[in-house]
Amino acid sequence: SAVISQKPSRDICQRGTSLTIQCQVDSQVTMMFWYRQQPGQSLTLIATANQGSEATYESGFVIDKFPISRPNLTFSTLTVSNMSPEDSSIYLCSVAITDTQYFGPGTRLTVL
Amino acid sequence: SQQGEEDPQALSIQEGENATMNCSYKTSINNLQWYRQNSGRGLVHLILIRSNEREKHSGRLRVTLDTSKKSSSLLITASRAADTASYFCATDQETGNQFYFGTGTSLTVIP
């Protein structure tokens, strides 16, 4: 398994600003993933972040809005850019170890 | 959308009863997994069942998989108030490493 931490755990932001979420893993992993969970909804995959290459975005998500960094095998960041109230969600990072994904505790974002 | 669907959306039972949740998906898969999410928290991995398996047990959990019907069920036996949470199934497709989550079942166990 893996121990995953995220910062911040929650934030309240103003419309038009950007927030960078950090994800730290206690072991080296090849694949990291970023998900969004809108209120009362299931998880939607935003992108897959592999170290040493550009992130792969799912349909409906673009790099300009959700830039991702993956500088090494234990760390990744997701930025939510030019935020609007529709971006209010829980953002979760996860890592894949063998066939299982393990999740961080999530970052609860509220955009006013 | 590759997202699966779960039913029921919400389930309320008395402590000690069994809870059954179902998950349907759309494409061929390698594995199917079940996760639990307590309110507003991260997801906890419960159990993985591979595409060549039909049934798996872990403690009070029993998972079945029917690949011909593209469906799975999660049974929680002798439920406890602490089982109150949302439960999600997730599938990884044969063609990639991404996980796709079902819509989730909100379980309430009444003490």
Encode pLDDT of A57-89 as tens digits.
999 999 999 999 999 999 999 999 999 999 999
Nearest by CB to residue A42, choosing from B40, B45, B104, is B104
Residues of A in contact with B89 (CB under 8 A): none
Question: How far is Cα A101 from Cα B61, in angstroms, rounded to an integer?
Answer: 19
Percent of chain B residues past pLDDT 90, beyond the cut: 74
Q: Is A42 on the interface with B (CB under 8 A)?
A: yes
Residue B13 has pLDDT above 90, yes or no: yes
Residue range B35-53, pLDDT digits in tens = 999 987 889 999 999 999 9
Q: How confident is the model at residue B3, as a pLDDT?
A: 63
Whether B57 and B74 have beta carbons less than 8 Å apart is answered as: no
Q: How confident is the model at residue A63, as a pLDDT?
A: 96
Residue B1 has pLDDT above 70, yes or no: no
Confidence bin at A46 (pLDDT 50/70/90): very high
Q: How confident is the model at residue B92, as a pLDDT?
A: 84
Nearest by CB to residue B99, choosing from A101, A104, A108, is A101
Distance from CA of A15 to the nearest CA of B (A): 22
Whether A56 and A45 have beta carbons less than 8 Å apart is answered as: no
Residue range B63-81, pLDDT digits in tens = 999 999 999 999 999 999 9
Across the interface, whether the CB atoms of A100 and B90 are under 8 A apart is answered no
DSSP letter assigned to residue A18: -
**Torsion sign, CA atoms B32, B37, B42, B44:** negative
Q: Which of A100, A107, A108, A109 to mutate to test the interface with B (most CBs of B within 10 A)?
A: A100
Residues of A in contact with B42 (CB under 8 A): 4, 92, 103-106
Q: Is A105 on the interface with B (CB under 8 A)?
A: yes
Question: How far is Cα B27 from Cα B4, in angstroms, rounded to an integer?
Answer: 9
Nearest by CB to residue A42, choosing from B42, B48, B103, is B103
pLDDT, averaged across chain B: 91
